[in-house]
Structure 1
Amino acid sequence: MSSPRPRRARRIVARIAAALGALLVVAVVGILVWTQVGVMAAEPEPLAAVQTDPGILITDDGAALVLAPAGGTSTTGLVYIPGAKVDPWAYAAKLSGLVDGGITVVITKPILNLAFFDLRPLDAFTSLAPDVDTWMVGGHSLGGVRACQLAADADALVLFASYCASDLTDSGLPVLSIGGEKDGLSTPAKIADARDLLPADAELVEIPGASHASFGDYGMQAGDGSPTISDPDMTIELTELVGRFAAQLR
């Protein structure tokens, strides 16, 4: 005759396992819901201006948005990774000047709207523009952190209101880091603190009057500073900075 103690122990273990399983399900569902709530949508007017620009050919591949110069061959490209819970379309207008200047821009669609959930390699996106042979990888905010992880497979790295969490000091990569004076999230101090993770010759530029949300067109962002630069001027700044950097890679 078996002892009641082993039976009680098995019941306790089973109850604990069931409770842990339920907690895991709740946690996963909670994360999935959180990633879909509060996504910052693209502002309609800047987006419409890009979508009706005859100089830009837009392809929505499902995995990414490809913005290519219409009527010409582009040999330089930028894979751009959005910030956390920001609509990828929200970056199209700010990057449109690069496309008008001959650079193909591939804006990724991060899995669950968060770059750190997206483990796809860089060639999942560069393959969408096979004529391009020189690739920059970059991103905004959390997207820039992910870009640093993919940088080894690119020809250069561009950070937009972001900084690396991985050490690239010995990578030999050309790096351009663009920050904003009024950024309340990726503050100038945070970017400076992470400077030692970049190569010694990395170029750091701070745009006067730019906030964190100035790098896209999705409205105000909690915790951010108040920008004093206009959207058209911000687009010009980004176009000139990244365009000049890209020209040095050719």
Structure 2
Amino acid sequence: MNFIQAIILAIIEGITEFLPISSTGHMILYSSFAGIASDPFVKLFTVAIQLGAILSVVVLYFRRFFRSISFYIKLVVAFIPAAIFGVLFSDKIDALLESPVGVAISLLVGGILLLFVDGWFKKVRIDDSDEIDFLTALKIGFFQCIAMIPGVSRSGATIVGGMSQKLSRKAAAEFSFFLAVPTMFAATAKKLLDFYKDGGSLTGEQIQLLAVGNVVAFIVAMLAIKFFIDFLTKYGFKVFGIYRIVVGIIILILLVSGFKLEIV
């Protein structure tokens, strides 16, 4: 992987990580077209640059992260289900990660659901993410587990989970961003640990690629978050649903035509 490919992947990560359109599906498309999907370092890179995206959340919501201890406890409570499911079903999750067809189907099904989500959850009880109680945080955490299926979208699952608990679209989106911090940090740490356990080591150039990738992902994610909050509040999920359906259909067409798509 060269620097141009690293920058493109980081841009894709920054845009798609916090939007309900599945970063996995987009990573599959680009890395397969670029011919770099089978590179072990690319698999590490696509996870490690999440640190840059995480930092964008912390910077944008700096005051929230230093407001109270209960804020952190709620994030831990919401994170617990994914942590448990990840440990118990890691082998099955890895098997799902090897199925491009599964990703395409998840994109399609998720897209269809997003077409109707705005009509399903009209009653709003919580308009500020700070008002979320511990039980609500836990319930949203279980929704995050659905995102272990590649193509579902972590942000999409948690935002819809929040709306099902009568959060406003803005409050649900913000809590989804906050929950991404421990979740993505844990995923990155595990990927790095597995990389070194398998005998991997980083060259000087690869370290530079990771540094550039994280910086780019950080900048792009900040812009994406600002755009998403405003757009979601005004227009809802329908556009994202249509977009997911289109991407899912493209992946299926490529698979049927014989194009080899590899999971990153």
TM (norm. structure 1) is 0.23
Higher helix share: 2
TM (norm. structure 2) is 0.23
Higher strand share: 1
